Amino acid sequence: MRKIQKGDRVILLSGDDRGKEGVVLKVNPSSGKAIIEGINFVKRHHKPTKKSPQGGIVEKEAPVHFSKLLVICSKCNEAVKTKTIILADGYKTRACKKCGEMITNVAK
Ligand SMILES: [Zn+2]
């Protein structure tokens, strides 16, 4: 089970935005990367188009590798490691390694 999922509250562990929190907007399992709202902006230069005749610089969130992210446990209220647990009905979910709280997803 992927440790980072859409809707998770995560914290960035490295880079210029180290320590910043955000919500995962999108995950790309094949590249192992996620886009997090408000984190890891990169400037992209755009050529002039009909829509924006001046072109210019657009800031956009760049994908971050899962290894640079930790999920925030709502109970501990800090970045934690997660483990996979299997519920009684066989459904797999993630739980905080520290307190055992299930990591629930805000974007369901
Ligand atoms: Zn916890």
- CA of 41 from ligand 1 middle (Å) equals 29
Distance separating alpha carbons of residues 15 and 93, to the nearest angstrom: 29
CA distances (Å), 7 to each of 11, 44, 49, 52, 72, in order?
A: 13, 25, 33, 32, 11
Tell me how many helices (H) and strands (E) the chain has: 0, 10
- CA of 97 from ligand 1 middle (Å) equals 7
- CA of 65 from ligand 1 middle (Å) equals 22
Q: What is the pLDDT of residue 106?
A: 56
Instruction: List per-block mean pLDDT (blocks of 10 residues) for the chain, which spans 108 residues.
Output: 90 93 95 95 87 84 95 94 93 94 73
User: According to DSSP H, which parts of the chain are helical?
Assistant: none
- Average pLDDT over all residues of the chain: 91
Distance separating alpha carbons of residues 102 and 91, to the nearest angstrom: 12
Name the pTM for this structure: 0.82
- CA of 95 from ligand 1 middle (Å) equals 8
